[in-house]
Amino acid sequence: MNVAWRWILIAFIACHNKVHGYQQFYMESSETYLTYISGTLPLIIGAPHGGTLKPADIPDRRHNGSSFVRDMYTAEIASSVAGIVANHYQQRPHLIMCNVHRSKVDPNRAVDVGADSDSGRDIWKQYHDYIKSSIVTVTEAHTYGLLVDIHGQTHSHEKVELGYLLEQPDLALPENSLNHAIRTRSSIQSLVSRYPYISPVEFVAGKKSFGMFLSSFASDVNVMPSPAFSTVGYNESFYSGGYVTETYYAKANQPGVDVIQIEIPKHLRLVTENRDKFTFTLAQAIIHMLDHHYVNRLKL
């Protein structure tokens, strides 16, 4: 089906009025606090930490232990991936980005940590309303879908980290114990429950995993977990998934979305040539994942 599509920017202005439903909000200036593009594919792309805006009327976050650093170029990567995927299918994914700096609002934390003011909490709540609305749309149209939450990290191992809510000790478990953890605690348990005769570890670190798809499109990109790096080293830093991943994954045998947090190392973000190459690689891996597990061509 050849479908014309267009980008829709929905600007949300922080205010003290209660947000009702999924209204579209427009700022009087040209700066948009949130970007939301509704889609028709069973794919939601989020970038909560790529924003640069620092409105003076939104107080800085001051929660002890919080990170206030922007994940540089993750918004650009997310929007470019969305465009590549849309061009491939001639239908668009859902795209949700926070354009406000992380020092003001962090949608990947619980609201009491993610914002320190009414205006910041309004932005936080609207970001999550967009996620909830997108999940409803995906589930109604496709039953199952995929949410990829795009982040950046600066860990010295320089690997792409895929967060499934499995910690370093989980990934080091014997296969039977790891399979149980994936079935009961991972953010892709709905996916693995649809394939009861396939070992769940195959979807995390095997031939059916997103790590495998990502590595196969770029042999010079190291990914964990994946067949090449099925475990996390004892001294290696690793992000297993934040608030978005913890909140929105579907339970086993339930409709909804599987969630993968993607943590991109700095050398794949900060260097233009590397970023462009990785963006294309990431888009191709997502397309491969959709074709294998989520897209019903008869519904497109």
Domain of 269: which CATH number?
3.40.630.40
Give the chain's domain count: 1
User: How buried is residue 94: exposed, middle or buried, by Cβ count under 10 Å (0-12/13-18/19+)?
Assistant: buried
CB-CB contact of 148 with 97 (8 Å)? no
Q: Would the pTM of this model clear 0.85, i.e. be above it?
A: yes
CB-CB contact of 210 with 293 (8 Å)? no
Note the pLDDT tens digit of each residue in 71-95: 999 999 999 999 999 999 999 999 9
User: Does residue 14 fall inside a structural domain?
Assistant: no
Which residues lie across from 44 on neighbouring strands? Answer: 94, 147
pLDDT score, position 233: 82
Element (H, E) at 224: strand 223-224
SS3 call for 235: coil
Block means of pLDDT (10 residues each) for the chain, length 300 residues? 30 27 34 90 97 92 77 96 96 96 96 93 96 97 97 94 96 96 98 97 96 92 94 88 98 97 96 96 97 78
Domain coverage including residue 52? 34-299
SS3 call for 230: coil
User: Does residue 192 fall inside a structural domain?
Assistant: yes
